[in-house]
Structure formats: C-alpha cells, structure tokens
Amino acid sequence: MNGPSPAPRAATIHIGEDMVVSRMGFGARWIAECGPEDARALLARALELGVDFIDTADVYGDGRSEEVLREVLHPYPSQVVIATKGGQIKTDAGPRPNGRPEHLRSACEASLRRLAVDAIDLYQLHSPDPDVPIEESMGALEELRNAGKVRQVGVSNLFRARLSAAASISSIATVQNLYSIADRTNDPDVDWCQENGTAFVPYFPLGAGSLAAVGGAVATVAQKHHATPAQVSLAWLLHRSNSILPIPGTRSVEHLEENVMATSLALTADDRALLESKDASEDS
C-alpha cells in the first residue's frame, strides 16, 4: 500500500473519559430470544473471553434484552460497560423514532429499572426524530447526564454535519451507525469519530455480501489466513480505524468465540489493499 503505515492496532478503546473497554463488544439484540440457560452460558463465555462492552436497546424484545442482562449479570462486574438506547417506539408499521424530551426521560427511567442500576454507563439516542430538533433530543440526554442518570451519551443513526450539531449540545462518547466492509457509505462518520476522539460502534459489522463468496476479496483473505469470512470482516474493521468498536451479535457460543478470535487476526498491507480496493467494495 502507498502512503504512511497505519498506526498499530489498539487493543482497547475509550468510551468518554472514564471508561476503557476491549475492542470487541457484544450486541445483545437477540439475547431475549435465548432460553435462560443459553443466555447465561453465552454471557458467561463472553466475560471469560474478555468482552466487557455489551450493547442493547429498550426496544429489543420490548425491553426483554435489558431484563436478561440484569437477570444474568447483575450485580455487574466492575469492568463491564452496559450500553443501551432510547428514542424509538414500536408501532404496527414497525419501529419509529420518538426523540421528544419527555419520552427520552421516561424511556431512560424504564431502562434504569430493567437494568437495576442507578446510572446507565452509556445511553444512546437510538435515532433522530424528524419531528423534533436534534438540539432538543440531545438536550434531554445532557440533562439526564447532569442528573446522574447516565454516565456517557452516544448517538445512533446520526450522520455527517448532524454529528457536529449534536456534539455542540452534549459531549458524544459513541456514534453507532451502519458500517461494514461491504457497506462503507458512512466512511465520513468513522473519520469524524477518529478526529474527535469518539468511539465508532458499527452495527451489522459482519456484512460482507458477495465479498465473502468464493473468489471475493473477503473469502480470498480468509482462505489465506485459515480464518472465516466473518473473522476477516471484523479484523478489517479493527484495522480500519482505532476508533472502531465492533459489536457482533449472536445466539451461539461457537460464533461468539469465532468473533472474539478475530482480534488476533493480523491483516497484512497486501490483505488490506485487496479488501479496500475499489473493485472489492460493494457500494463503490
């Protein structure tokens, strides 16, 4: 590859000023669908593997995901950061945003009860509400932080210039947007996070699409390293920027172990050149 060598890949990442976690998190979107024993085994193994950042939301399983985390992990180990989100509601037509300050305050209180904590480590606006100025939604989250209800504030599904607008109201610890090796539309947001000392938390981080098919860039690199396409996809994210904190979700202990092993997969300059070539990108 031309240009300067990339910085050494960091093993940990800061969430705000006072929390440091390993750079492979766990997305708990599907944990509510596991039976009690399966959920217990999955989360116990995650902790054994050093996973200390767990992401959920109040709409996952209608709050059940948060409840499962409480039932299995409470009292939470001191090193574990629990992140949740508010600002969406379920309707017959599917989820829709609700960024009204009164809703965010109520949603935060409900998450506090389900998680059985006095303060949420990281509370994220799930999505901006087109009917509510972002300044009002972020102002509500800043009020919750000032009241000691949340320790750090993050945003999700917020892009480009709106990130700067949100950051002018409340210090943003994390940005959680769609991003993967096959969908790099939000490259500018990754760069914004790198420049501003903010963690970028990609959702759907395992998306590789046709790149994982035989002959595709991901499949080719995976074969070279005797790895899986999922591991290459995650390793690429970890190499892409030291601001990135992937949160792959799974119901399977086996897949959890596979995902965490991606942290030890070192991609070469040639690997990255192939994976980052224009021909390899599905949205190029």
Q: Does 70 have pLDDT greater than 80?
A: yes
Q: What is the pLDDT of residues 77-107, one digit of tens each?
A: 999 999 999 999 988 888 899 999 999 999 9
What is the pairing mode between strands 19-22 and 26-27?
unpaired
Q: Does 120 have pLDDT greater than 90?
A: yes
Cα–Cα dist 35/51, whole Å: 21
CATH class for the domain made up of 12-206+242-251 = alpha beta
What mean pLDDT comes out for the span 127-148?
A: 97
When the pLDDT of each residue in the chain is averaged and rounded to a whole number, the result is 94
| Catalytic pick among 60, 123, 179, 203 | 60
Q: Does 9 have pLDDT greater than 90?
A: no
Per-residue pLDDT, 278: 64
Per-residue pLDDT, 2: 39
Q: What is the pLDDT of residues 260-284, one digit of tens each?
A: 999 999 999 999 999 998 655 554 4
Per-residue pLDDT, 1: 38
179 is catalytic: no
Per-residue pLDDT, 282: 52
Cα–Cα dist 51/237, whole Å: 17
Per-residue pLDDT, 210: 80
What mean pLDDT comes out for the span 220-226?
A: 97
Q: What is the pLDDT of residues 160-174, one digit of tens each?
A: 999 999 999 999 999
Q: Does 62 have pLDDT greater than 80?
A: yes
Name the one residue in this structure whose structure tokens are 């086996």: 254
